Amino acid sequence: MCHPPHDQQTKTSSAANNHNKTSKRRTTASLKPARKIRTKRRKPKYLSLNLKLSPQKNPQSSNRKTKMAIRKQQQLNLFPLHPENQVEDNRDMHEDNNVVASFLFDAATDSTTTLDGLLSSTTTTSDESPLSPPSLTYAYREEGDSNNGLVRTAMRCKERDASEERWVSYSEVVEKKIKEEEANSCVDDDDVGAGAWCAKQVRGQERTLALKLDYQEILNAWSDKGPLYVDGESPQTVPDLHDDNVRSNYLIIMSVFLLAQVGGVGSLWRVPEMASDGGDFKVNEQVGGKEGWKREHREASVLRYKEKRQTRLFSKRIRYEVRKLNAEKRPRMKGRFVKRSSEV
């Protein structure tokens, strides 16, 4: 259950208690100097939307204001700004995380790779199936052989040498590809469109092609596929990952989120072509052209996305206002509901 932000009063009171205890200890051990005041703030342990919630609540003091501001900076950016609205603040995060992202997605060296394959395959090695999509595990096995190596690699991101840059901008690759194809007089204008996996074309070049995700493209592609949340269904509804269509869409969402977190928005994958029925994603080597995304459709999608983004709400969603009212009226003891007295 997702609760609203904790009551500040509770926090302050418990903090006050702690301080009392501390001061007591200090008096007994007065010879020792008091601890220095912390200068750094801890990072949030878990992903929290708390600061996205109810931002308009009246702060009770400027102290609290600054506290909240500091904490806000620490929150993960669950819904990062659209690339065009990004500001410089993100730069540091990108610098820190791009290495992780590059390593995560560097696995995609085969043109047959799909997001599905990339995310679901965890044990494949090049020995087992040379034709199967390269797995994330395989990516790490370039350097190690642990099954959970990828995770460790991600965690170890700080240890990686910054000079070990493997991140290849998709646009660069596409440009190269287009130039090559233009040189061969067989270029298709729209080939830059969503979802071209062009590892084949660049294989053999100096660098291994990294699987890239075009963040904007994915969001645009998703914008006309309905909300991320399943409105009107019970909150217990979870994606049926046995359903190929659902799984594909779900994986895309997760990819967007993951990329937003670890890779920023600077350089991202291109999304595979989405079928017209909104269901499956297909890797189509003949993407673009007349069968691919039509310009008008894409513009409309972008518009829809922008509109949705403008009107996005971060407040807690109350499904049943009546229950809220009832709960508010319900008697409590130390925050817990208690039985109503019979006289009422």
- Contact status: 158 vs DNA (CB under 7 A): no
Q: Contact with DNA (CB under 7 A): which of 55, 235, 278, 289?
A: 235
DSSP summary character for residue 191 = G
Of the candidates 181, 211, 215, the one whose C-alpha atom is nearest the C-alpha of residue 85 is: 215
Q: Contact with DNA (CB under 7 A): which of 27, 42, 61, 183?
A: 42
Q: Contact with DNA (CB under 7 A): which of 27, 30, 31, 46?
A: 46
Q: Contact with DNA (CB under 7 A): which of 31, 33, 61, 313?
A: 33
Of the candidates 135, 113, 91, 100, the one whose C-alpha atom is nearest the C-alpha of residue 266 is: 91
Q: Please give the structure tokens belonging to residue 281.
A: 């994603």
Q: 207 vs 317, which CB is nearer to DNA?
A: 317
Q: Contact with DNA (CB under 7 A): which of 28, 30, 37, 164?
A: 37
Distance in Å, CB of 106 to DNA, minimum: 26
- Contact status: 57 vs DNA (CB under 7 A): no
CA gap 274, 222 in Å, rounded? 9
Q: How many helices (H) and strands (E) does the chain have?
A: 12, 4
CA gap 263, 331 in Å, rounded? 48
- Contact status: 65 vs DNA (CB under 7 A): no
CA gap 118, 235 in Å, rounded? 28
- Contact status: 220 vs DNA (CB under 7 A): no
Three-state SS for 332?
strand
CA gap 125, 105 in Å, rounded? 16
- Contact status: 326 vs DNA (CB under 7 A): yes
Binding site for DNA (CB under 7 A): 1-4, 6-7, 9-11, 13-15, 18-19, 21-22, 25, 32-48, 50, 67, 71, 234-236, 316, 318-320, 322-324, 326-328, 330, 332, 334-340
